Chains A and B, each alone.
Chain A
Amino acid sequence: MFTSLMFTSILPEILILTLAVILLCVEPFWKEEERRNAGWLTAGGLFLIIIVSLLFGRPGEPVSMLGGMIRFDWLGFFFKILFMFAAAATALLLMDHEKAGRRGEAYILLLASLLGMNLMAVSADLIMLYLSIETASIPLYILAGFLLTDDRSTEAGFKYLLFGTLTSTIMLYGFSLIFGFAGTTNIYQLSQLFAVGDISTLLAFSIFALVIVGIGFKLAIVPLQFWAPDVYEGSPTPVAGFLSTASKAAGFAVIVRFFFIAFPDFSTSWTVVLAALAAITMTVGNLLAISQTNVKRLLAYSSIAHAGYALIGVVAFSQLGAASVVFYLAAYIATNLLAFGVVMAFSRVTGLEDIKDYAGLSRRNPWLALMMLAAFLSLAGMPPFGGFVAKVFVFAAGVQAGYTWLVIVGILNSIIGVYYYLNAMKYVYLYRMPAEDEEKHPVPLTRPYAIALGVLVIGVILVGTVFAPWFSWSDAAALNLF
């Protein structure tokens, strides 16, 4: 029985698929140098899709659709918007990538992965969830190893593939355990079947452990983080940006839905586990970030740490907690994409990725320097950028839930963060190029970068100042979890 709601619920995915198909058809007709236009097409198309979805695809009362496979609610919808926004920005950043920008496959893979992520955000069934995770992951494996002539990229792709498949297999084992005990794969029915006392704590813990391994890989939380720096460093920078933002956020979409909906009765167990993981993740990520000399590795470790901060909101297990996670991710996606975008714009011209190579950037391109400043300060959690408000909300949720110790760990960590972010900015603003002739070495921005970075920096500031609308959406999303 087909209803229009079925169509509405997957409207963005249908449109993404259409876009991918169009791209696939158009691309062969373009000449080599025109293929860059695929980026315009992707970004523009996604922009249209976002508008269309906002106009026509908004959810009403949360309902399970398509035979209970997906859940059509604000939580999924808001995440989808975020993913599509991230993918559009990534497409723009990819355009002027020397090796990947002129190949249509890159954009198509991006869209395919986006499709998977969108479905991850709405999956209401373990099978659907697993499939969507794989859909999102496999194109990313390829994208990470996209630069065939570059050893580091190949290595990154391979590493990502190996760890990814391994962890998803482990997660699949966890799913099978759940099915074995509950007899259903529908997340929304699990909470009734798994009441405390029905299964032993040990079993519950093993299920959590197995699932956390799978999702934790996506989130890159300690101890499943070690792939991240190598993969980020090796893969094309825009892809690394996408990996560290949308892919991570998709993991959070899954983790909140899975734990909040399926295992509310076991919250005392899994919050403790996640709290410990959050604390370790933040600390390890930040401490390792201090000694990094490569910007992409620095950002990799910092994004590990940020997963830790966001987990505080999950640990809080409250409506404010969930809302703060969603808000945090919104701010984080804009911020981190901005950071990677700046890195991309810089290394495209200079081919360099070490922090020390950024010396004199503020004289070579003051705008780029300012955007980098905005990104890094937002990551550090300084107002008026998004990172500050996001952190305050997450911490507020933590304090409310009584996790003051975790908040204090988070605060100590953000102090470390301030240190290394500012340390990096020191090169940009304070140090000069060896010959002090920055005027002769400008770092021009091409139009796609200017657009993408401009939009992102405005986004970062908007999230950090006029935070009411974003928060009310996050709150609406969080409402669907309770």
Chain B
Amino acid sequence: MSFPILSIITFLPFVAAVVMLLMPADRKTEVRGVALATAAIDLLLSAWVYAQYLLGGMTGYQFIEQYRWLPALGINLKFGVDGMSAPLVLLTGIVMFTGVLISWGDYDEAHHISAGIQDRPREFFSFLFLLAGGVFGVFVSLDLFMLFFFYEIAVFPMYLLIAIWGWVKTREYAAMKLTLYLFIGSVVALVGALAMYWTQYTNTGVLSFDMIQMESANFSSSFQYIWFLPVFLGFAVLGGIWPFHNWSPDGHVAAPTAVSMFHAGVLMKLGAFAALRVGIMLLPEGAKQWSWLIMIFAGIAVVYGAFIAFVQTDLKYMIGFSSVSHMGLVVLGVSTLNHNGLVGAGVQMFSHGVMTALFFAVTGMIYDRSHTRQIPELGGMMKALPFAGIGFIIGGLVSMGMPGFSGFVAEFPIFMGVWGRQWLVAVIASISIIITAAYIMIAIRRVFFGPMPEKLEGHISPITALDKLAIFTLCSCMVIIGIFPAVMVPMVERGVENILRLLGGA
């Protein structure tokens, strides 16, 4: 067996979480150092996996590792990545790294700014890393049981992270709402997964949670028809699919910056990814039968999310609803079940992850300094925080699907895919592009330009070098993919080929 790189990527955060917990509570800098070092290592390793997969021309599942876990029930610790999940592993590495960077923060005496995490950083980082480990685990798991295992691990730290370090006004409500929504979704999907497990046993006599094996489990058409929706929607709740999106904006708003980044950047992808991997890849017939409904849901999410985002005055709510809209595009792409749509969905997952992490990072920086997120109460930030402003503008352009940035590379094929299925949906969903452009442009103008409100004058201290590094990392991803789609698209295509094969070359 070769170097177990995926296991290391997955378990390193857990180890780091434990190590940090064991450190004395008052050694804040050391705790942060451990966190940053771990995140950097994970980022490098995931980038390495990504590069290997892309440049090595790999197809199918690669870097496979398998450890017997519970042979009696066919549970194995089986890891591997394909063209769909490798970008998401990289995304997680990026978000984790930047999330730690912007949470570093020390108390700024001169400006009374407490950027980053001051209160119990030890617990914060270790919960965050539990979350990160869980997320990595889901992306690399090729075993359905392990997928659920990591999926749940990724859910519960969210509660604590939001409830403890979140925005005082709504954190309890939002954290509980989020946790319950996600838990309901995942256990509903779990029932479906167990049904699949036993049906496979009945059909083939194989007792296994191995997803590659399940691909050939010969689920009957009627079985797939019944179980597709619970499985797909159960996961898609975490993807913020309409009408189960309600938890998401509240969660974004209440969460501390790094958690918002994780939440929107990675966790929502978790839902979409798991829905794709379990729902569509294992129940392709069901997917074909139900894709019309998913498409309607996604279409509504895209337009509705954009409209709601348009009327928000709270910056974070605006971004939260824009995430609903953009994740709607991911699901829309998935629901087309064709090459273009799936490729677009795969790229959009990455693109949206980076973009929204950037948005939340910048919003957090502004909030730390101004103590408000109300768009009308802000202004003139460009002069005070030019770097953050440029970052936000680039994020905004990605969000609008502006060519030259990753958003376009992702959204264009999605719309093409929808054309291939139902042109009317493409036309309706495209309305969201204009609305998005409108609210993004208005927000940029109000927050970053124009005069700065008097009470903020002098309170806006410059951002730190770490913040800048985070913004730069995120921005460069979006620009590079936008200009050279070839750094990601061929890889996603290889993943999509596999899905299309399962769908019978549809």
Contact = CB atoms under 8 A, between A and B. Distances in A.
B163 A404 contact: no
Given A395-B194, A399-B198, A383 B163 contact: no
B145 A392 contact: yes
A408 B163 CA distance: 28
Given A399-B194, A422-B179, A384 B149 contact: yes
A126 to B, nearest CB: 33
A425 interface: yes
B123 A366 contact: yes
Contacts of B152: 382-383, 388
A363 B190 CA distance: 36
A468 B187 contact: no
B71 interface: yes
Interface string A423-437: 101100110000000
A396 interface: yes
Contacts of B425: none
Given A366-B25, A429-B164, A396 B183 contact: no
A362 B123 CA distance: 10
A414 B164 contact: no
Interface residues of A, number: 38
B311 interface: no
Interface in B177-204: 179-180, 183-184, 187-188, 190-191, 194-195, 197-198
Contact of A415 (B69, B123, B150, B187): B187
Interface string A403-414: 010011001001
B97 interface: no
B242 interface: no
A404 B191 contact: yes
B190 A418 contact: no
A377 B198 contact: no
Interface string B56-80: 0000000000001111110000000
Given A396-B197, A419-B180, A426-B163, A382 B156 contact: yes
Nearest to A382: B156
B40 interface: no
Contacts of B21: 370
Given A362-B123, A388-B149, A415-B180, A395 B191 contact: yes
Contact of A422 (B176, B187, B194): B176
Interface string A355-370: 0000000110010001
A382 B187 CA distance: 11
Contact of B69 (A362, A396, A430, A468): A468
Nearest to A373: B160
A429 B197 contact: no
A382 B176 CA distance: 15
> Which of B71, B123, B183, B198: most chain A Cβ within 10 A?
B183
Interface in A135-194: none
Contacts of A389: 149
Interface string A461-482: 0000001100110010000000
Interface residues of B, number: 38
B148 interface: yes
Interface string A381-395: 011100011001101
A393 B152 CA distance: 15
B304 interface: no
Contacts of A362: 120, 123
A450 to B, nearest CB: 15
A400 interface: yes
Given A388-B152, A411-B188, A472 B72 contact: yes
B230 to A, nearest CB: 10
A139 to B, nearest CB: 37
Interface in B132-182: 145, 148-150, 152-153, 155-156, 159-160, 163-164, 171-172, 175-176, 179-180
Given A399-B195, A404-B191, A426-B172, A383 B149 contact: yes
Contacts of A418: 179-180, 183
Nearest to B168: A430
B174 to A, nearest CB: 12
A480 B123 CA distance: 45
A430 to B, nearest CB: 5
Given A370-B21, A407-B191, A418-B179, A429 B160 contact: yes
Nearest to A416: B180
Contacts of A426: 163, 172
A361 B155 CA distance: 23
A376 B406 CA distance: 43
Given A429-B164, A475-B72, A377 B156 contact: yes
A167 to B, nearest CB: 34
A384 B120 CA distance: 23
Contacts of A382: 152-153, 155-156
Contacts of A404: 191, 195
A37 to B, nearest CB: 31
A430 B179 contact: no
Interface string B398-426: 00000000000000000000000000000
A383 B184 CA distance: 15
Contact of B159 (A388, A422, A475): A422
Given A366-B123, A370-B21, A388-B152, A400 B160 contact: no
Contacts of B163: 422, 426, 429-430
Given A383-B149, A404-B191, A415 B184 contact: yes
Contact of A471 (B72, B171, B194): B72
A383 B183 contact: no
Contacts of A380: 156
Contact of B176 (A395, A400, A423): A423
Contact of B191 (A399, A419, A471): A399
B4 to A, nearest CB: 17
Contacts of B198: 396, 399-400
A475 B180 CA distance: 33
Nearest to A418: B183
Given A415-B184, A418-B183, A396 B194 contact: yes
Contact of B153 (A383, A467, A471): A383
Given A377-B156, A396-B197, A468-B69, 5 more contacts: A366-B25, A418-B179, A422-B159, A422-B179, A423-B176
7 contacts: A396-B197, A399-B191, A411-B187, A415-B187, A422-B175, A467-B69, A468-B70
Which 4 A-B pairs give the minimum distances between C-beta atoms? A399-B194, A411-B187, A382-B156, A468-B70
Interface of B: 21, 25, 68-73, 120, 123, 145, 148-150, 152-153, 155-156, 159-160, 163-164, 171-172, 175-176, 179-180, 183-184, 187-188, 190-191, 194-195, 197-198
